[in-house]
Amino acid sequence: MSYLFVVNKSNHRKLPSLNPDDAGPIVRRPMGLPITAGWDTARDQTWVCNNASSTVMQCLRPLRHSGGQIHYFLNKNLSPYLPYHAFDVCPLLFSLAVSGCMVNFSDPEGYIDSSDDPPLPDGTFLHCTYTVTVYTGYGVELQVKSVNLSEGEQLSIRGVDEGGALLVLANHTLLVEGQVIRSPTNTISVYYRSSPEGSIGMFQLHYQIFRLSCALPRRPHFGEVSVLDLLPGGTARFHCQMGYHLQGAVALTCLNTSLPVWSSKEPSCRALCGGSVKNATVGRILSPSPRLGPTATHDRSCSWSLEAPTAQRLHLHLERLALEPTDRLVLWSGLDAGSVVLFDSGRGGPIPFEGVISEGPAVRVQFITDQPNHNTGFNIRYEAFERGHCYEPYLQNGNFSTTDQVYGVGAVVQFSCDPGHSLEQGPPVIECINARDPYWNDTEPLCKALCGGELAGPVGVILSPNWPEWYGEGEDCSWRIHVEEDKRVLLNVQLLNLSDSDMLTIMDGDEVTPHILGQYVGGAGPFKIQSTTPDLTVTFHSDPAGLVFGKGEGFIINYMEVSRNDSCPDLPEIQNGWKTTSHTALVRGARITYQCDPGYDLVGRETLTCQLDLTWSTQPPFCEKIMYCSDPGHVEHSTRSLSDPKLLVGTTIQYSCYPGFILQDGSTLTCYGREPGTPVWTSKLPHCVSEESVSCENPGLPDNGYQVLSKRLYLPGESLTFVCYQGYELIGEVAIKCILGNPSFWSGPLPLCRVAEAAAGSGLDGGNMALAIFILVLLLSVLLGGAYVYVTRCRYNSNLRLPLIHPHPYSQITVESEFDNPLYETGGVRKYTHTHTQT
């Protein structure tokens, strides 16, 4: 089987690079490996990759160019030597024809239409990547016009993040007509893969460009940011609240890159240690911000000088004063060493929260501390005013109205607080009195964040106690929100920054039947949460030992009443799988569990949960066709070799036992696909057992016989051959085989050697012959005996001398020679006669 690669081209489409270096080198390839041009109908030729540095495109030769296509034909023998990333696809692991395409688009608008691709032969496995790349600073917006895919096909929309990593933006299980997907950068790709059976569906996507923009810059603590434009070239300007100084760039520019970013990091706002202000009119002096980092040094003595215009005086309002016993804050009415002391915290006495007024136009402030931290310090607001007038009032976290904009004698000011705050430590109305030396008849009030309360409006805000300052230790606050009976409460938690020993609890329902929606310790990003009833309670507890463990910044929670909605949106069915729900209605806490048909893997989370904000815990999964077998594992006392480490369909695993061990069951496993079903191995895992444990012992010798190649143990599959001595015949199997088992056994019983019938007949004829010879000898003996008597007695004196013949008949001798090697063992009966003549 060979493989076909197709690179599609069309009008207004940028061709993929055919640079050989883009394809990657061929590794560990034998020298002179041929690639046959099997699809070239005009010629039949072969060319060779001559060296190991040849690349894929050097070894792939264009065979035919027609209809905007370039065909490449690759012999299967080369497939093990190609890298998987050769064409950004991996068609080399399938046993059917594979067609791959890569199409690039660069126009600002167009269509990705699968019907534009040329028809392919039936059974062709197709996978294509369509990539849209536009100008830097622009993104790509895809709209689904139509999708008609069959079972087993895949279609996914992919983007690239700022680090270049691949992002799956959508897949075929969630694509519906009219859906819009936007890329985060100037590149988006569509990957399509046909079903293993080769069926090819249809899809059409419309794409167009849109302007990418920078993310909204983060607002610095104690500061603000104003964004003129988030598009490339736009600027963001930062400024700090009164008393803080900007550390970093005042303005950032959105840079035109593949993913637009700001020109530098967002700045921060810090309170500095000391300073000098000329022509002071209004402002704030703050205790210095602690420096961060293990090697940071801390300021221990800071001094500020304020000088108002001539003939004006300065009013200093102590908005906050929380000092350590060793800290000291001193205010002087003047810059000289002998100036009048307006306030000295080291002397004790009451704290003038109503403020102090200088005798002249200058004030000096000095702060001495051992260890600056967030929990201690001071806030002093100053303002200059002319003689004969009262100073301009100030109300943090609130507003005021006045009857006189220059605050002359008789001016009346009325105060009100921002949502989430209450008016404390002062009257809501004050008046400027005393024409000789004007002053307010009372101090400005304070607007402090509420520690609990009853909230019944359609909208509102809940702030941590003492916001925007640090909340105190040992706080126990409870806010109860009630809306109309057919409404629900939606909380928008914008900021949550607590210490690890403080806790914020959100409860659903009234005080009688509360249900905890969430408990939070430490910090958390912005989130939303909704009640299931018209009542919702928020409680906050801070650790009394907060000065030891530290405190957090606090929290900001906006709330609003919303229409009743007690269920999550329904989720679509999953292709090649099914879903089950834990509840009939998709209420909070309901779970949907997805499962795939046999032969498919679940990609994503199996179970989704309806959360408290009526959203699902994650995106639905999808089912992907399984094209691989699970690893069967290793066999003890063996090694194995794999044809493909990914264990795709068609992979073979060869097991080989160590010396001294023998393999039980088949040595080769092959992964094959099933329809329907999951790919499986052709056989079970074999075993390697010691040779001695499965060998057959020598069964012994048969009587009147011997063994050929005798030994003590025989491995399964080996045979043992038996032979009988001459004159005996074998009864049974000439050879028996050792059969593998537990324990192993011989294929048959030990044979027998019995006397042959022909041998028995020849023995009877020999006996008759011996009897005849005996009678003949006996007769000769009688004759010779008579002659002897005659000669010795009757003719004693005769000179006649006859030669005396001495016959020496040998009896039958049986020669049986036994050698160590049974191949040469012989036996037989032989008759020898030796005649000796004596004269």
Query: Could you report the per-residue pLDDT of 317-339, keeping only the tens digit for each?
Result: 888 888 888 889 999 999 988 88
DSSP-derived secondary structure letter, 746:
E
Amino acid of residue 484: E
The span from the CA of 38 to the CA of 72, in Å, is: 10
Q: What is the pLDDT of residue 150?
A: 81
Helix (H) or strand (E) holding 783: helix 757-789
Q: What is the pLDDT of residue 7?
A: 38
Distances in Å between the Cα of 462 and the Cα atoms of 399, 418, 484, 493 are 19, 11, 19, 9
Q: What is the pLDDT of residue 19?
A: 36
Topology agreement, domain 3-211 and domain 223-270: no
Determine the topology of domain 638-692 in CATH: Complement Module; domain 1 (2.10.70)
Is residue 149 within 8 A of residue 155, CB to CB? The reply is: yes
The span from the CA of 545 to the CA of 645, in Å, is: 59
- 575-579 average pLDDT score: 88
Structure tokens at 602: 């679940």
| Alpha carbon 396 to its chain's center | 50
Handedness of CA 405, 407, 413, 419 (dihedral sign): positive
Q: Which CATH superfamily is domain 577-625 in?
A: Complement Module, domain 1 (2.10.70.10)
pLDDT in tens, 738-780: 988 878 899 999 999 998 876 444 444 555 666 667 788 888 8
Distances in Å between the Cα of 760 and the Cα atoms of 168, 727, 754, 756, 826 are 95, 8, 11, 7, 19
The span from the CA of 633 to the CA of 685, in Å, is: 8
In the three-class reduction of DSSP (H, G, I as helix; E, B as strand; rest coil), residue 414 is classed as: strand
The span from the CA of 264 to the CA of 251, in Å, is: 9
DSSP strands (E only) in 628-712: 638-642, 652-657, 661-664, 668-672, 680-681, 687-690, 696-697, 705-708
The span from the CA of 798 to the CA of 634, in Å, is: 108
The size of the chain, in residues, is 839
For the ranges 51-60, 266-275, 296-305, the one whose mean pLDDT is highest: 266-275
Q: Considering the domain 450-563 in this protein, what is its CATH number?
A: 2.60.120.290
Is residue 661 within 8 A of residue 688, CB to CB? The reply is: yes
Distances in Å between the Cα of 705 and the Cα atoms of 727, 738, 750, 822 are 11, 20, 11, 10
Show the 3-state SS of 559-577.
Answer: EEEEECCCCCCCCCCCCCE
Judge whether residue 175 has pLDDT over 70: yes
Residue 306's nearest CA partner among 217, 253, 229, 243 is 243
The lowest-confidence range among 380-394, 484-498, 504-518, 608-622 is 504-518
The span from the CA of 120 to the CA of 91, in Å, is: 15
- Domain residue ranges in the chain: 3-211, 223-270, 275-447, 450-563, 577-625, 638-692
Q: Does domain 275-447 have CATH number 2.60.120.290?
A: yes
- 386-397 average pLDDT score: 85
Judge whether residue 539 has pLDDT over 70: yes
Judge whether residue 166 has pLDDT over 70: yes
Judge whether residue 5 has pLDDT over 90: no
Q: How many helices (H) and strands (E) does the chain have?
A: 5, 69
Is residue 530 within 8 A of residue 560, CB to CB? The reply is: no
The span from the CA of 184 to the CA of 172, in Å, is: 20
The span from the CA of 368 to the CA of 372, in Å, is: 9
* Domain 223-270 in this protein, CATH class: mainly beta
DSSP-derived secondary structure letter, 286:
E
Residue 74's nearest CA partner among 33, 129, 21 is 33
Judge whether residue 811 has pLDDT over 80: no
Q: Which residues pair with 286 in a beta bridge?
A: 379
Q: What is the pLDDT of residue 307?
A: 93
Q: What is the pLDDT of residue 599?
A: 79
- b/e code 476-486 from CB counts within 10 Å (16+ = b): ebbbbbbbeee
For the ranges 102-116, 281-295, 505-519, the one whose mean pLDDT is highest: 102-116
The span from the CA of 62 to the CA of 58, in Å, is: 10
- 627-641 average pLDDT score: 89
Judge whether residue 576 has pLDDT over 80: yes
Structure tokens at 82: 């190609």
Looking from the CA of 265 toward its CB, the CA atoms found within 13 Å total 5
CB atoms within 10 A of CB 388: 12
Handedness of CA 401, 406, 407, 410 (dihedral sign): negative
CB atoms within 10 A of CB 774: 10
Token match 């016989």: residue? Answer: 705
H helix intervals, 102-260: none
Structure tokens at 790: 């005659």
Percent over 90 (pLDDT), the chain:
18
The span from the CA of 46 to the CA of 38, in Å, is: 9
Tell which CATH architecture fits domain 3-211. Sandwich (2.60)
pLDDT in tens, 222-258: 899 998 888 888 999 999 988 899 999 999 999 988 8
Question: Which pLDDT band, with edges at 50, 70 and 90, does 369 fall under?
Answer: confident
Question: Which pLDDT band, with edges at 50, 70 and 90, does 87 fall under?
Answer: very low
Is residue 451 within 8 A of residue 465, CB to CB? The reply is: yes
Structure tokens at 71: 């065909």
The span from the CA of 524 to the CA of 747, in Å, is: 77
Is residue 184 within 8 A of residue 139, CB to CB? The reply is: yes
Is residue 146 within 8 A of residue 175, CB to CB? The reply is: no
CB atoms within 10 A of CB 572: 10
In the three-class reduction of DSSP (H, G, I as helix; E, B as strand; rest coil), residue 534 is classed as: coil
Judge whether residue 669 has pLDDT over 60: yes
Mean pLDDT, rounded, of the chain: 76
Question: Which pLDDT band, with edges at 50, 70 and 90, does 198 fall under?
Answer: low
Q: What is the pLDDT of residue 55?
A: 39
249 φ, ψ to 5°?
-70, 140
Q: Which residues pair with 736 in a beta bridge?
A: 720
By the 10 Å C-beta count (0-12 exposed, 13-18 middle, 19+ buried), 339 is classed as: middle
Q: What is the pLDDT of residue 375?
A: 63
Strand 301-307 relative to strand 275-277, pairing: parallel
The lowest-confidence range among 89-93, 200-204, 695-699 is 89-93
Percent over 70 (pLDDT), the chain:
76
- 592-611 average pLDDT score: 88
The per-residue DSSP string of 93-120 comes to: G-SS-EEEEEEEE-SSEEEEEGGGSPP-
| Alpha carbon 398 to its chain's center | 51
Residues 6+ apart with CB under 8 A from 659: none
DSSP strands (E only) in 256-369: 261-262, 268-270, 275-277, 282-286, 301-307, 312-322, 328-333, 340-344, 356-357, 362-368
Residue 467's nearest CA partner among 378, 352, 552, 355 is 552
- 818-823 average pLDDT score: 37
Distances in Å between the Cα of 433 and the Cα atoms of 361, 789, 801 are 22, 196, 196
Q: What is the pLDDT of residue 781?
A: 82
Is residue 342 within 8 A of residue 382, CB to CB? The reply is: no
452 φ, ψ to 5°?
95, 170
| Alpha carbon 684 to its chain's center | 31
Residue 32's nearest CA partner among 19, 46, 21, 11 is 46
Is residue 478 within 8 A of residue 455, CB to CB? The reply is: no
Is residue 142 within 8 A of residue 207, CB to CB? The reply is: yes
The span from the CA of 693 to the CA of 678, in Å, is: 37
Largest CA distance in the chain: 209
Question: Which pLDDT band, with edges at 50, 70 and 90, does 18 fall under?
Answer: very low
Q: Which residues pair with 638 in a beta bridge?
A: 657
- 713-731 average pLDDT score: 90
Show the 3-state SS of 593-626.
Answer: EEEECCCEEEECCCEEEECCCCCECCCCCEEEEC
